[in-house]
């Protein structure tokens, strides 16, 4: 649908493409009389949609209206007549709208002299209520001018991914130029709106006005209708995205949740909290409102899922296990003592449990998240294999999503340590690395990507946020195919060790993530808790990451809970419940059927212990 550039009847929407607007006699005035007798003006195209994977709109357009004065022709008012005419209609509009329209005499005169053949807008972007109140009571010479406004039908949901758009400029008030746009266009300023701005913008239409030698209009028509912008189809699942944001809103002041399909790398949900409603930016946002968003201490404009990185805590023990088992530094049945503390150099490194847990193998150590076990194994394995396997899992590199500002995190090698701390990695640094502390930084998106690789058995898929770009007629313009980047190359036995340990973390009696356990589906995961930030303002980063169902994963996930300064939060009690909240909803339809199946097959439920609360060092 194309809004009529010059004139709109209040009782009807914008004319369809190709329609000829109502003709009226208009005489160009002052300077315009000396210029060309034909004007060709550009009609901005409706912006393309952004949708989820199922076609649910995330960004679309709505028809809005501006209130405008149409001046009678010929345009021969004196300044006094012009101002009287305009002021009468502005005052009438004031009463109808119930608010005062502040328009200067200079602006009125400048428009009349330079572009009086076009409507003079006196009120922009009327609310639905204002439109309903005024449409049947328009004063003579006052019209409603339709135009498209960007709208985000789901409000805050996926707001930081979709982003927002803004006007490219103010309404022109100078002499009319051929091929100037009839009203300001919008452009993407953040998120997918920005990345895919060119394909979303569409192609201008052309609107032609012709005058005779006496300055009277002889024709007025849409020569070429605008072509709407293309549709960007994302990989997001709107339902999962909403569940992720609801979980964050219910259980976290700040944090992020990412859900990935481990079988193709598709991002199904990527939520950060707090967030913002992109509707606040359309058609414009006030300076005061924007400053309030910028100054908010919880930083709602920051998409934590991919623009923030955190120490991974004990979730990084997965990487250490891979390196240790694959290099042969440790056998799967080899045991190390899980003691309360060990001495490394001149420092004492503690376990989060205060008691001696005795000798443990890898699965047992991962289940209980024994720090002292991983200190010993990490040092025995060495830094280089650990860093190598971390990179194989995608840590320390951008995932490559089409959004500005993705950070690459950090996997600290000797070069980094020398540049930052003036030394290479020492045993104490390797001990810290082995429990995801120290200088290691990962994003929630990277963590979900790593869990997808482990969950599917070792295939590293290119993380995908956009499936394709298509026309309004559903013809594919650009397709972003599922792409297998590489394989992990770990043995089947090692991968099974990881899987078994992660299943026990959630379901075993000594696991740290019982709050993520479900009755109808087996969840595999790993908790983590780490200190983050400068010592004087230290916060806790609490993690839970994994995949579900454990044996044939459909979803891989990472949840990050960002604690307040001076307060403790643990992966098992802060992050795991957020994932449980999502999964209970996702798998609720299968609950009764699975319970019946287990009973019929005579399965014995896995014994549950009381939830184990992690110490801040886990």
Q: Above pLDDT 70, what percent of the chain?
A: 89
CATH number of 238-600, picked from 3.40.710.10, 3.20.20.450, 3.40.50.150, 3.60.21.10? 3.40.710.10
Q: Answer with the residue of higher pLDDT: 509 or 169.
A: 509
**Average pLDDT of every residue of the chain:** 88
Does 86 score more than 90 pLDDT? yes
pLDDT in the model for residue 590: 52
Residue 86 backbone dihedrals phi, psi, to 5 degrees: -65, -45
Specify the residue for token string 């993520």: 516
| Helix (H), strand (E) at residue 525 | strand 524-532
pLDDT in the model for residue 603: 44
Confidence of residue 10 (pLDDT cuts 50, 70, 90): very low
In this structure, of 229-238, 351-360, 365-374, the range with the lowest mean pLDDT score is: 351-360
pLDDT in the model for residue 561: 97
Q: Each residue of 314-366: pLDDT tens digit?
A: 999 999 999 999 999 999 999 999 999 999 988 899 888 888 899 999 999 99
Question: What is the C-alpha separation between 533 and 419, in angstroms, rounded?
Answer: 19
Confidence of residue 607 (pLDDT cuts 50, 70, 90): very low
Question: What is the C-alpha separation between 415 and 417, in angstroms, rounded?
Answer: 6
Specify the residue for token string 């300076």: 287
Confidence of residue 215 (pLDDT cuts 50, 70, 90): low
Domain with CATH 3.90.1310.10 in the chain: 30-232
Taking each helix axis as running N to C, give the angle between helix 317-327 and helix 427-434, from 0 to 180 degrees, rounded to the nearest 10.
Answer: 110
Domain with CATH 3.40.710.10 in the chain: 238-600
- CATH number assigned to the domain covering 30-232: 3.90.1310.10
In this structure, of 20-29, 369-378, 541-550, the range with the lowest mean pLDDT score is: 20-29
pLDDT in the model for residue 352: 84
Q: Answer with the residue of higher pLDDT: 515 or 567.
A: 515
Confidence of residue 618 (pLDDT cuts 50, 70, 90): low
Confidence of residue 534 (pLDDT cuts 50, 70, 90): confident
pTM for the full predicted model: 0.87
Question: What is the C-alpha separation between 119 and 7, in angstroms, rounded?
Answer: 7
Q: Answer with the residue of higher pLDDT: 193 or 2.
A: 193
Does 216 score more than 90 pLDDT? no
Name the β-bridge partners of 531.
540
| Angle at CA of residue 374, ends 369 and 379, nearest 5° | 170
Q: Answer with the residue of higher pLDDT: 51 or 185.
A: 51
From residue 218, how far is each of 35, 215, 299 by CA, in Å?
Answer: 16, 9, 56
Q: Each residue of 106-142: pLDDT tens digit?
A: 999 999 999 988 899 999 889 889 999 899 999 999 9
Q: Each residue of 153-174: pLDDT tens digit?
A: 999 999 999 999 988 877 778 8
pLDDT in the model for residue 606: 36
Q: Are 378 and 433 in contact (CB under 8 A)?
A: yes
- Compute the average pLDDT of residues 404-428: 95
Specify the residue for token string 């998120």: 191
| Angle at CA of residue 303, ends 301 and 304, nearest 5° | 125
Confidence of residue 533 (pLDDT cuts 50, 70, 90): confident
End-to-end C-alpha distance for the chain, whole angstroms = 58
- Compute the average pLDDT of residues 398-406: 98
Q: How far is CA 214 from the centre of its chain?
A: 56
Q: How far is CA 448 from the centre of its chain?
A: 15
């Amino acid at each position: 649908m194309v809004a009529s550039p010059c004139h709109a009847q209040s009782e009807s929407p914008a004319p369809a493409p190709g329609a000829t607007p109502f003709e009226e006699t208009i005489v160009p005035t002052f300077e315009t009389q000396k210029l060309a007798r034909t004007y060709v003006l550009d009609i901005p195209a409706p912006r393309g949609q952004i949708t989820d994977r199922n076609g649910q709109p995330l960004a679309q357009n709505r028809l809005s209206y501006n209130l405008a004065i149409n001046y009678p022709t010929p345009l021969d008012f004196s300044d006094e007549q012009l101002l009287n005419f305009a002021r009468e209609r502005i005052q009438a509009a004031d009463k109808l709208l119930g608010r005062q329209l502040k328009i200067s005499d200079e602006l009125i005169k400048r428009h009349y002299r330079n572009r009086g053949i076009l409507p003079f807008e006196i009120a922009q972007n009327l609310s639905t209520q204002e439109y309903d109140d005024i449409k049947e009571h328009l004063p003579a010479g006052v019209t409603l001018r339709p135009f498209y406004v960007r709208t985000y039908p789901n409000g805050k949901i996926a707001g930081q991914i979709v982003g927002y758009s803004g006007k490219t400029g103010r309404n022109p008030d100078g002499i009319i130029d051929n091929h100037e746009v009839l009203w300001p266009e919008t452009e993407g300023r953040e998120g997918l709106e920005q990345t895919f701005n060119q394909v979303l913008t569409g192609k201008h239409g052309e609107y032609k006005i012709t005058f005779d030698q006496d300055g009277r209009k002889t024709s007025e028509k849409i020569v070429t209708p605008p072509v709407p912008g293309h549709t960007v189809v994302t990989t997001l699942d709107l339902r999962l995205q909403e569940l992720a944001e609801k979980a964050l809103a219910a259980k976290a002041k700040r944090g992020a949740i990412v859900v990935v399909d481990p079988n193709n790398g598709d991002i199904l949900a990527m939520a950060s909290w707090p967030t913002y409603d992109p509707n606040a930016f359309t058609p414009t946002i006030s300076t005061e409102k924007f400053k309030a968003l910028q100054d908010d201490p919880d930083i709602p404009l920051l998409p934590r899922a991919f623009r923030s990185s955190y120490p991974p805590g004990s979730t990084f023990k997965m990487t250490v296990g891979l390196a240790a088992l694959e290099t042969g530094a440790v056998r799967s049945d080899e045991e190390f003592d899980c003691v309360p503390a060990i001495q490394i150099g001149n420092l004492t490194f503690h376990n989060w449990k205060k008691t001696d847990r005795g000798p443990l193998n890898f699965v047992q150590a991962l289940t209980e998240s024994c720090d002292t076990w991983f200190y010993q194994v990490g040092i025995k394995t060495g830094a280089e294999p650990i860093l190598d396997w971390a990179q194989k899992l995608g840590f320390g590199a951008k995932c490559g999503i089409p959004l500005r500002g993705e950070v690459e995190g950090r996997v600290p090698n000797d070069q980094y340590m020398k540049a930052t701390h003036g030394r290479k990695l020492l045993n104490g640094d390797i001990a810290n690395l082995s429990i995801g502390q120290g200088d290691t930084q990962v994003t929630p998106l990277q963590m979900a990507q790593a869990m997808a690789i482990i969950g599917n058995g070792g295939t590293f898929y290119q993380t995908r946020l956009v499936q394709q770009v298509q026309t309004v007629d559903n013809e594919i313009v650009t397709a972003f195919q599922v792409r297998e980047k590489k394989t992990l190359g770990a043995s089947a036995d090692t991968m099974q060790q990881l899987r078994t340990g992660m299943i026990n973390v959630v379901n075993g009696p000594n696991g740290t993530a019982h709050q993520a356990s479900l009755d109808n589906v087996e969840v595999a995961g790993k908790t983590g808790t780490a200190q983050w930030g400068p010592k004087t303002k230290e916060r806790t980063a609490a993690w839970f990451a994994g995949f579900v169902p454990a044996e044939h994963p459909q979803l891989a996930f990472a949840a990050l809970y960002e604690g307040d300064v001076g307060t403790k939060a643990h992966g098992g009690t802060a992050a795991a419940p957020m994932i449980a909240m999502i999964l209970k909803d996702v798998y609720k339809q299968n609950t009764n059927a699975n319970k019946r199946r287990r009973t019929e097959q005579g399965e014995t439920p896995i014994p549950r212990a009381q939830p184990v609360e992690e110490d801040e060092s886990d």
